[in-house]
Structure 1
Amino acid sequence: MRILGLDVGSKTVGVAISDPLGWTAQGIEIIPIDEQNQYFGFDRLEELINQYKVDKIVVGLPKNMNNTIGPRAEASLEYGKQLEELFHLSVEYQDERLTTVQAERMLIEQANTSRSKRKKVIDKLAAVMILQNYLDRKAY
């Protein structure tokens, strides 16, 4: 069972995929999107879903620190709803509070990566963290 993990932002979608056994998450790519012009990268996601034979999608849910749903989380919920309708796959949500902050810290501390390079990989790494957290939670 392959699971696709997504970190949905207003300008990009970070994408990660699980291994066939559902133990580990690997980053695939970052898909540029344009919310204002209603382009959400669904064509590229369809290619990835077919290529990896995806069975399920996990979308990061950026809740507020007080556990409420704000505008970004609402946008992620809507994105997930559209994914379900388009691809007829199960979509689940994973709390992603602070994953982008964690990903950026990791890149700074471990890789000493410049700001411009971090911007290019941060969403993919956040997608990996979202999916890995989901896989770890499901393993128990």
Structure 2
Amino acid sequence: LWLREQGHPVDGFELSELAITQFFDENNLSAERSEVGPYQCHRHEDLRIYQGDFFAAPELGQRYRLVYDRAALIALPGAMRRQYAALMSRLVEAGGQVLLVTLEYQPEQQLQPPFSVGEMEVRTLFERDFGVEVLGRGAELDHPR
């Protein structure tokens, strides 16, 4: 919502209908629903959340100048992370930027998300098509689960 409050139209992608419903309810926003391509689109003014498989996003025909990924990459297993990075290269305009939040920890046989995705993996995935810059680091003592 912060980006929207700054005057930017916002498109989001979410697989879970429950998460979308909770988002609109928690923020006291009404949502119109419609089918858009392969998605169920939940819209409030210039905020759209597309419910469905993010990997179908090219079917919308949109390109983005700015992308904020809070938890998508770290939810994906390794092979899908490569597909995700390739998809981002297709969806982001030339000169566009991606703000990516990741977690890095000792995986300890972590079989479920959030997965550890460190700086070197981010560089391997994205450096071919994007400049990679670490904006900050934080430490937590507890396991992310």
Same-fold call, TM cutoff 0.5: no
Relative to the length of structure 2, the TM-score reads 0.29
Max radius of gyration: which structure?
A: 2
Relative to the length of structure 1, the TM-score reads 0.30
- Which structure's residues are more often helix, by fraction? 1
